[in-house]
Amino acid sequence: MAWKRKYRCKACGYEAEVYEGRGLFRQQITAMWCPDCKTIQNIVVGGIIADVAPSYRSEVGRLCLQCGSAHIRIWDKRTCPKSQGEMEDTGEPSPHTSAITSISTSAPLGKVFTATAERAGYGSWKNSA
């Protein structure tokens, strides 16, 4: 399971949410900073997606999700990308769960599929399982 942590710059107040741990599909989420747009971005590395998209196997060659820059680097979890001040963990962790996990545990799966299909306009579609 991945956890989301909030970091805040002591100098300028810039905030970023950074993920730690592994995601639902075994992917690692790496915090990267961009010197061009001065933001922190979370990128997916590895896991099932890397099996079908080799560019997701590492941080090398990845682009900033905000501005498209190729200059992104792994963030040190200390330096603010905006002011170069010190970032601190605010101590506000929150569990990150995917919508699929929370939906599938809230009702039997067949009922979830049926309700979703009916809301989407497919009448009284039934799960074949």
pLDDT digits (tens, 9 = 90+) for 89-126: 998 765 543 333 323 233 333 333 333 334 444 444 34
Segments in 58-108 forming alpha helices (H): 99-106
The token pair at 58 is: 């590492």
Helix 99-106 to helix 109-119 angle (10° resolution) is: 110
User: 108: which residues sit within 8 A by CB, 6+ positions away?
Assistant: none
pLDDT grade, residue 1 (50/70/90)? Answer: low
Per residue in 3-61, pLDDT (tens digit) is 889 999 999 999 999 988 777 778 888 999 999 999 999 988 888 877 877 777 888 88
CA quadruple 104, 109, 111, 112: dihedral sign: positive
Q: Distance (Å, rounded) from C-alpha 101 to C-alpha 104?
A: 5
pLDDT value for 108: 38
Q: pTM value?
A: 0.64
Residue 80 has pLDDT above 80, yes or no: yes
pLDDT value for 9: 97
